[in-house]
Structures are given as structure tokens and as C-alpha cells.
Amino acid sequence: MELATLVLSNPACSTLDDGEKHLFAWLFANKLLPSQVIVVTTADKAALVASHGLGWLDSMTSLEDLARKAGVGRGNLDALVSQYRNDWLSSIKTKIRFGIIP
């Protein structure tokens, strides 16, 4: 029921992979986003586009940001590939907001 409600309300969510679709459906059904407390991390552009359609783009954060706040050391942070970094996410969010990534 939650999956159907999400996809019917937000067709862009139909292309999400199963894990993200289930997470988004649960968050949507429970009206947990947007939130100052709950954040979601993903390196999937389709999920970021869908989050924008749901009004959740500001609740998306990078793995780098979460790791830094959790006290992960510089060596491990430096090992993160680009799509898990703050600058990559910021760039994608900007492109989504300006309609460059539809």
C-alpha cells in the first residue's frame, strides 16, 4: 500500500531501485520528511530528483558529511569516491534546482 501510494502520488519514484523506493515509501507514509532531525544519504541521481519532487532535497546529505559528524578520520574521508562527497552532492542539488537534471 505504501509503495503504491508513493508511486501514484510521485511518478518519478517509480524508477527508484527497490531499497530506495521502500525507504521513500516508508518516509512518505509516515510524513517524516522534510525534517531537521532525519537525513537521508544517497549517491543515486534518480533518488535525488525524486526527493526534490517530494520536497525533501534539503534533507539529503552526503556520506562524507555523516562520516565527518560521526568522527571518522581524515584517511577514511579522503578515501571516499566523488559521489559520496559534499561537493558532488552540492553540484547535483544545484543542477536539479535549476532544471539541468530533470
**pLDDT on residue 62:** 97
Q: What is the dihedral of CA 50, 88, 58, 45, to 10 degrees?
A: 0
Q: What is the dihedral of CA 41, 42, 46, 51, to 10 degrees?
A: 0
**pLDDT on residue 15:** 93
User: Please, is 19 exposed, middle or buried when counting C-beta atoms within 10 Å of its C-beta (0-12, 13-18, 19+)?
Assistant: exposed
Q: How many CA atoms, within 13 angstroms, populate the side-chain half-sphere of residue 6? A: 24
pLDDT tens digits along 58-69: 999 999 999 999
Classified as helix, coil or strand, 98 is coil
The list of the chain residues with pLDDT below 50 reads: none
